[in-house]
Structure 1
Amino acid sequence: MTSLAVIYYSSTGNVHQLADAAATAGKKAGADVRLRRVAELFPPDTVAGNPAWAGHLAATRDVAEAALEDLEWADALLFGTPTRFGLPAAQLKQFLDTTVTLSLAGKLVNKVVASFTSTAATHSGQESTLLALNNTFYHWGSIIVPTGAVDPVLATPDNGNPYGVSSVSRGRPAGAAPDNLAAIEVQARRVIDIAAALKRGSAAG
């Protein structure tokens, strides 16, 4: 069985919704799946000042926090983050910064990796956020799997770009659009399929 870890940070819920959809898609595809959130770094007083932020943190408190062991365990990894000034959120970046021991030991080599994001507006840094995440994966020696245009749903305006699934929240009903959820399912299946093919090839070799 191929193992998939979906690791994400979400402040008000859009990225969580995408991550949960990815985990569900992974299970439907027959993978062993772990859904993990990274730790919140902001002070409680700051979070409490935003009801949507505080509410989402409370609603997802039962989601297990990501650990380095999850990265070692997984054949495939999906990372999700909102965009912060065209970059990944500090919370996810901090977790990635703790992976240096795994990276130096070669334990992340050939992991199949992809990422997704959510922004308030269409031109708010979706592409630069995903490309910035790729810089970490290059250092790991992982195999980056882009979304490209492998399915018609990935070519719709709501889904952003060929680097990874993305969602736009401003001016829309709360939560990710149906096309976004369909797109993240395609992305999850693609990552799992490639990871499974690599496992088969390694076993045969």
Structure 2
Amino acid sequence: MSVKLAIIYYSSYGTNHQMASIAAEATREAGAEVRLLKAPETAPDEVINSQDAWKAQAEKTADVPEVTPEDMEWANAYLISAPTRFGVMASQMRAFIDTLGGLWFNGKLANKPVTAMTSAQNTHGGQETTLQSIYTTVMHWGGFVVAPGYTDEVIFKTGGNPYGYSHTAGEEFSDDAKAAIGHQARRLVEVAGKLA
């Protein structure tokens, strides 16, 4: 069985979209079948259109499919990337996750490996608690958390977060940042392949 990976992101201004795209490239190169998907937007159009950067990101990614429960059932591994909002994942990602009760009840989310990434406006903006909030959900599903830990030296070069890559919004993606995302994503594919 091959690795069927759903990379699910939410991104208001583009940071998590970039992270998900870097991960998608790395996992395709590692042999996974990948679906790059976005969480549905819940903010009103008038709010989005009132902020130029948010509107531009929405237009830029209009062709990216929205994730569905069917995608979640299809996949045998998940990479979730969502920005930090007050120390937990953005409400758009939470709103999508909250639609998955039927799949959870029927065991369709169990026994699948999951890794997570996030971003915030500053270095200590709640990234670790956001990642833990995603992993708490994974544990309720009966999934397997595949955190990067300290399995590659690049993790120390990008802030030393063992829970998952986190990016400071507005900063460029350095070669080390791309390497850390790629490492975490490939680690997920490796674990998913063993489980499959």
In the alignment, does 2:127 pair up with 1:130? no
1:164 aligns with 2:164: yes
Gaps of 5+ in 2: none
Task: State the partner residue of 2:72.
Answer: 71
Confirm or deny: 8 A CA contact 1:114 1:144 kept in the other structure. Answer: yes
The residue number in structure 1 matching 2:6 is 5
Aligned-pair CA distance for 1:134: 1.0
**Structure 2 CA distance for aligned equivalents of residues 129 and 63 of structure 1:** 24
2-structure distance, mates of 1:180, 1:68: 30
Amino acid at match of 1:179: D
Deviation at 1:67, TM superposition (A): 0.5
- 1:124-147 per-position Cα deviation (integer Å, ceiling 9, x unaligned): 000000001111111100000111
CA drift of 1:26 comes to 0.8
State the SS of the aligned residue for 1:124: coil
Give yes or no for the alignment of 1:193 onto 2:194: no
Q: Distance in 2 between matches of 1:91 and 1:177?
A: 27
CA shift for structure 1 position 109: 0.9
Contact 1:169 1:176 in 2 (8 A): no
**Count of aligned pairs between the two proteins:** 195
Deviations 1:80-127 (CA, angstroms, capped at 9, x unpaired): 001001110000000000111111101111110010001110010000
Corresponding position of 1:80: 81
1:177 alignment partner in structure 2: 174
* Regions of 4+ moved over 6 Å: none
Q: TM-score, normalised by structure 2?
A: 0.96
The Cα offsets for residues 162-205 of structure 1, whole Å up to 9 and x where unpaired, read as 001110125x3xx4333222111101100010010111xxxxxx
Gaps of 5+ in 1: 200-205
CA–CA distance in 1 between the matches of 2:178 and 2:76? 22
Question: Any conservation in 2 of the 1:126–1:160 contact (CA below 8 Å)?
Answer: no
After superposition, where does 1:37-76 map in structure 2 within 5 Å?
A: 37-76=38-77
Residue equivalent to 1:154? 155
TM-score normalised by structure 1 residue count: 0.92
Q: Distance in 2 between matches of 1:67 and 1:159?
A: 33
Q: What percentage of aligned pairs have identical amino acids? A: 44
Correspondence list, 1:23-34, <5 A = 23-34=24-35
